[in-house]
Chain A
């Protein structure tokens, strides 16, 4: 199996038609009391089982957040000797980037079956710090850390402040992102806030302030959790038990590590990552049936929706008002409940892919988007640092 099958029949645009996601799964979520590698093994085993494959089929591995040698570490733990690995560190967007690299590696014949995985026990281990992690040799340690920004919250807070100022937006309107996420979580039994009841905009505003204008309810959860997806050639995926989910397009942009490198806080690298992904897929934003957009903070979603072209600059708060992104709305967004109400294990991007796959397979029960054929997964890492878009589709 070289995995180089470029079966382009039926595809539009210049999309690479050769690769599909054949398996997807979550690890245990929430407060697990488990180790990082234990959760990784769980997610990977479940995703392989979902794909109808075994560890012996895996010759490519992409993961991060384990150790300095993340992919190497996980390969060792699983007893694998992969022909291809990737541990690009790009925060929560790494996994959307891995899809691109995995598709390229499979198409080039370097490997045939790639597992993309992640897990964290950050809630059980109490390993998350408000100050984040700043390495002493970086410019940020000299020029930013002395001023006490919370990392990453204060950067997103400044982006929100600038955005609301420029477009005369309100915190209430911004809160709709968190309110809608909760509505979806109420439909997802795996969501951390599944049993928490509805959230109102007033609740979001009344939650403890962290870094103005963002309260704790504007911020994603801190939970354990993980997930994995399995990629292989579309040709091979068609012989596996679950319907293949095709990789239609991808794009990425890396923009900054410092808090002062990006001149305009309201315009992110998702402009270019989205443009590249849509061009490769031969699709437009209007073609997207379900969107899984990284919601580290409420403002992240607003900036990303505009950057990806779902609405114009300065229009997102009006655009999401009135239930558009809630269950039953005409733009189903973050249907798992998102990082805000479902699960946020530090680098959440792998779970965006898992939910997109499940929606395209029609496996989502009460939160299923009827007839979803095209899904978008968009990861954002760091402080609006890294942006990666993946377009997925059913195999028609």
Chain B
């Protein structure tokens, strides 16, 4: 898989920093309670940017939709699973699901959080089927 480290910005910095501690953050709005991903400079629920904070995700999740990528792309090693993962906190993340058999990953499969280290100490949140 690609090890190129994405460049954070002033809004996403805390999210990426938390990955150094292997903590998955979800941005949440203190004004209206909305949770969102990716992190933004304002809340898309109420439009306010004044009371945005972070909550720690439990790591529990399930597959919303997924695909097994079979065609090679530079830096990636097919076949691998790309999935829309729904966290227990409600938000969707794009991620990979590392499964012994990628073709058995389907809608609703329960997942647990895992981490793929990046060269600079940060890490990408990825997922594994709970039963594996």
Contacts and interface: CB of A to CB of B under 8 A. Distances in A.
Interface of A: 130-131, 136-137, 139, 141-150, 154, 157-159, 161-162, 165-166, 208-214, 258-260, 263, 265
A260 B124 contact: no
Contacts of A263: 92
A162 B107 contact: yes
B17 to A, nearest CB: 13
Nearest to A156: B67
B94 A157 contact: no
A214 B65 CA distance: 14
Contact of A149 (B6, B92, B94, B124): B94
A211 B67 contact: yes
Interface in B60-100: 64-71, 73-76, 80, 82-84, 91-96
Given A142-B8, A149-B82, A210-B71, A162 B64 contact: yes
Contacts of B66: 158, 161
15 contacts: A130-B73, A131-B74, A139-B38, A146-B2, A148-B73, A149-B82, A158-B65, A158-B83, A161-B107, A209-B70, A211-B70, A258-B38, A260-B92, A265-B64, A265-B65
Contacts of B71: 130, 150, 208, 210-211
Given A148-B73, A211-B69, A142 B94 contact: no
B53 interface: no
B11 to A, nearest CB: 9
Interface of B: 1-2, 4, 6-9, 12, 16, 37-38, 40, 64-71, 73-76, 80, 82-84, 91-96, 103, 106-107, 124, 126
Contact of A210 (B70, B74, B95): B70
Contacts of A161: 65-67, 106-107
